[in-house]
Structure 1
């Protein structure tokens, strides 16, 4: 295992010959901060000080500049305090997170789509001492001392250059769950003890040292955060925009080698007639419709990689272009150092092709929710909360285990119907969910965004021709758009409220 990790890191250019300055900076940064964001920027400042680290709406910052600026900014915070970040994708988000690491403060990544009431509850539950926020969110901020992100520049410029504490207390990183099925919970993310987690992702996604990476997925989300952390390990240049615009994203891609997206963003970019050349498009954050996967591979070439995971387990599997060309709906195979099990309700492994509960083991399982609860575990593996099956070694996700319905005594999986309907001509987006039924206990309802020529009967006929009769949605609603959270996930509870 150690040998494979080293070989993967060497292949990606993470481990490579260093001059005296680069070696000294790497070692001194490690002695002060271990393998953290602070170490990453100190290492980058020593190895490639003049390389662009961040390109955003405000310009360019080099690795040396980010290292110095975050040391100055760290003096604005205190060891042990808890900082909430309510920001879009820009330098202020990254610099605040890194400054927290340098001083030993906790960072709570706040979803920009939360309401005032939700933010107040999160601030109370997470015991947030201070918030760094974009000024656009002033109207929803809780009663907590706040730095606005446009004030950070002054804190940086006026910050002292005195040395920071050596070996500060280890700050914690807390991400909120998506909240699509309930109130968002705080999930404590572990700091990696080595570069093995980076090697796991690089074993399936061919990113390279010095890549230029556009991160369109929100940094407060686990997928955007992973892109940032992996890019830092690679000494990459990160391209950030406060707001996603498909045309701007594709213009940015002209100077990029890789792009991290969530599926709905990829779908929006496919609507723009421009195809820049990229080596990697990495997608995650929600289910990737097979039609979107196939069209991306056809129009951009064999560059699409799809990661299946969650806030709690980080990653479970990654699908390569070759695997999705053969099976567009697959979630791929576990990367290096990852274990995967499909089990029944008693925790026993199921046969290949049989649907069961998905459990995962890797080096980045979360440390539990901040309310003291955790995910179910089994023999060192953690539940993803999803159902799936294995076919020829490839993982297929059937959907959330709490979304499966029983209709007339038959198990029915909304995700299977969604994937099927997404391939129907005229369908742009679709969400399927279970609703109460007096005769069968439950039935499916489909919410479709699509062409005006589509009819409910055409939708039902397509499902009836391909799946069992209990999978045919009794209710078909045509809507202008699906409700999504700030990370791009469909919030099905809002669809239920329309019934």
Structure 2
């Protein structure tokens, strides 16, 4: 599906497709809002192939700006609305951004760094908010020229999603809008999304799972997508008032969700490993709902596979299986060692693979040294009885005295010990053993280390038990509930954690 076909489908849809607070837009109204925004952008001198940074808050105005840039022929860079302003300025310079779209406070904060023309745009007559933008051509002209030169060979590049990757420095994962729409449609088909569904806009849309598998999938299908007012928790009153039928969450939030939503028919989970214990809790909490575990990574489009588990028995102590690959995807394991043919790195062959990494105007666009049409995920899987089971990110695997330890497996066991709220297992350098595993545990009661070891010994060999247990006040997580990990140099791997 091309952007023109997507917009044509919107124009023909007279049903409400997007809603927030008291404002709602039909597909036709959204189409005209996008068209007006694109026309304003073109009239301001914006040229095809130019980079535009959109600060993607969960709002209708962000959606209009995102698709408006695409319609105007630009490359839309998906901005994290929580990025501090100095980082925003760094991105503007590094990637040769021509226009910056954001709320008024963000725009005027950036103005303290750059002297730019400010454009105030009425996003839509039905909305209270305005979208403000900076035309950066006056002060950023050399970088803009270099950006266009770098992106020009990648003629299909239209969507750029940031990743800090393994170096901690921002780089943009490039996709064509066509592939993003295809990937969203394939996800719709895999989980059985319906045009009469009401989809919760709870996940952040600057996050590829929330953007493609949640927002764009809803618009492609013609469903109704409803933004919740900014909150770290799902509002049950809001969910029931809007008769939400589809909810996408990370496993972390799913396990903590305690709401009664009679209209809910389906939940999808992605962004982190889903343990069998967590899956069984979700099956009990949401009996009668369709439950899907989904896997993907931004480089792949992003969705790769899904597995419906509400009627499945899941072996204890394992992460739920990868499931069926989406249409157009093929999966294989790249053997991790000569003596372990059942353990290896997952490699995905997909027609929606990234067009490459854009490192900025100085370094340009590069494609990793991957096999043709394939993505090396950096995720280790074990194949058992024709199922692929996730065991660890390759860079997070711990080798303790020669024994391989897989943090997600250990965490899933500790997490279900009475009193444990959250846990993170990480490798620490040790002069004698190479590495030792340390388990950081957030608990609401005192738990003796002996009890922790006994619980782990029921599921793991003695050599796989963490050498150290440390109790902490909290475990750092992202806005989506994913574990925060430090950037580690690890060449040749997929660089965006699985989502």
Quick check: 1:35–1:194 contact (8 Å CA) kept in 2? Answer: no
Q: 2:344 aligns with which of 353, 356, 364?
A: 356
Q: Against the structure 1 CA distance between its residues 454 and 250, is the aligned structure 2 distance closer, same or farther, given a 3 Å change threshold? A: farther
Matched, 1:340 2:331: yes
Alignment deviations for residues 291-327 of structure 1 (CA, whole Å, 9 cap, x no partner): 3322121111242111111111122321112475434
- Contact 2:161 2:174 (C-alpha < 8 Å) held by counterparts: yes
Residue 9 of structure 2 is aligned with which of 43, 46, 51? Answer: 43
Alignment of 1:390-401 (within 5 A): 390-401=383-394
Residues 156, 176 of structure 2: 8 Å contact kept = no
Name 1:407's counterpart in structure 2.
400
Quick check: 178-187 or 72-81, which moved more? 178-187
Gaps of 5+ in 1: 1-33, 160-168, 495-499
Residue number among 75, 79, 100 corresponding to 2:47 in the alignment:
79
CA positional deviation for 1:114: 2.5
Instruction: Summarize the Cα distance change of 1:134–1:470 in structure 2 as closer, same or farther, 3 Å threshold.
Output: farther
**Aligned pair partner of 1:126 in 95, 100, 105:** 95
Deviations along 1:415-465, one digit per CA (max 9) or x if unpaired, are 221122122222222111101112211011112222223333322332233
Contact 1:357 1:387 in 2 (8 A): yes
Structure 2: which 5+ residue stretches go unaligned? 132-154, 360-364, 488-499
Deviation of residue 379 (structure 1)?
5.2
Alignment check: 8 A CA contact 1:444 1:474 kept? yes
What does residue 204 of structure 2 align with? 218
1:319 and 2:312 correspond = no
Residue equivalent to 1:59? 23
Looking at structure 1, the residues matched to 448 and 220 of structure 2 have their Cα atoms a distance apart, in angstroms, of: 50
| Aligned position for 2:249 | 261
Secondary structure at the aligned position of 1:402 is classed as helix
Instruction: Specify whether residues 422 and 154 from structure 1 end up closer, same or farther in structure 2 by C-alpha distance, changes over 3 A only.
Output: same
CA distance, structure 2, for counterparts of residue 340 and residue 185 of structure 1: 26
Pairing partner for 1:424 from 417, 420, 426: 417
Counterpart in the other structure of 1:251: 238
| Correspondence for 2:481 | 488
Is the counterpart of residue 436 in structure 1 residue 400 in structure 2? no
SS in 2 for 1:120: helix
CA contact (8 A) 2:439 2:469 kept: yes
TM-superposed deviation, 1:329: 2.5
CA contact (8 A) 2:414 2:420 kept: yes
1:466 correspondence with 2:459:
yes
Give the length in aligned residue pairs. 444
TM-score, scaled to structure 2: 0.80
Aligned with 1:88 (options 57, 71, 90): 57
Counterpart in 1 of 2:32? 68
Partner of 1:299: 285
Provide the C-alpha distance between the structure 2 equivalents of 1:459 and 1:363, rounded to a whole number of angstroms: 45
Deviations 1:147-168 (A, max 9, x none): 7999645899999xxxxxxxxx
SS for the counterpart of 1:265 is: helix
Tell me if structure 2 keeps the 8 A contact 1:333–1:393.
no
1:310 to 260, 273, 297: 297
Shift in Å at residue 285 of structure 1? 1.8
Distance 1:172 1:155 in 2: 28
- 2:355 pairs, out of 347, 353, 367, with 367
TM-aligned CA distance change 1:173 to 1:195, over 3 Å: closer
Whole-Å separation in 2 of the counterparts to 1:344 and 1:111: 36
1:389-439 CA distance string (max 9 Å, x none): 222222211111111122112222112211221222222221111011122
Greater alpha carbon shift after TM alignment, 192-201 vs 64-73: 192-201
SS of the aligned residue for 2:357 comes to coil
Once the two structures are superposed, residues 154-203 of structure 1 have per-residue CA deviations (whole angstroms, 9 ceiling, x without a partner) of 899999xxxxxxxxx96611001265873332100222269753453234
> Partner residue of 1:29?
none
The residue number in structure 2 matching 1:11 is none
Distance (Å, rounded) in 2 between the aligned partners of 1:449 and 1:484: 13
| Other-structure match for 2:170 | 184
Distance 2:117 2:27 in 1: 27
What's the offset of the Cα at 1:367? 0.9
1:379-398 equivalence runs, <5 A: 380-398=373-391
Change (3 A) 1:179 1:115: farther
Mapped partners of 1:340, 1:140: distance in 2 = 46
Distance change >3 Å, CA 336–CA 154, structure 1 → 2: closer
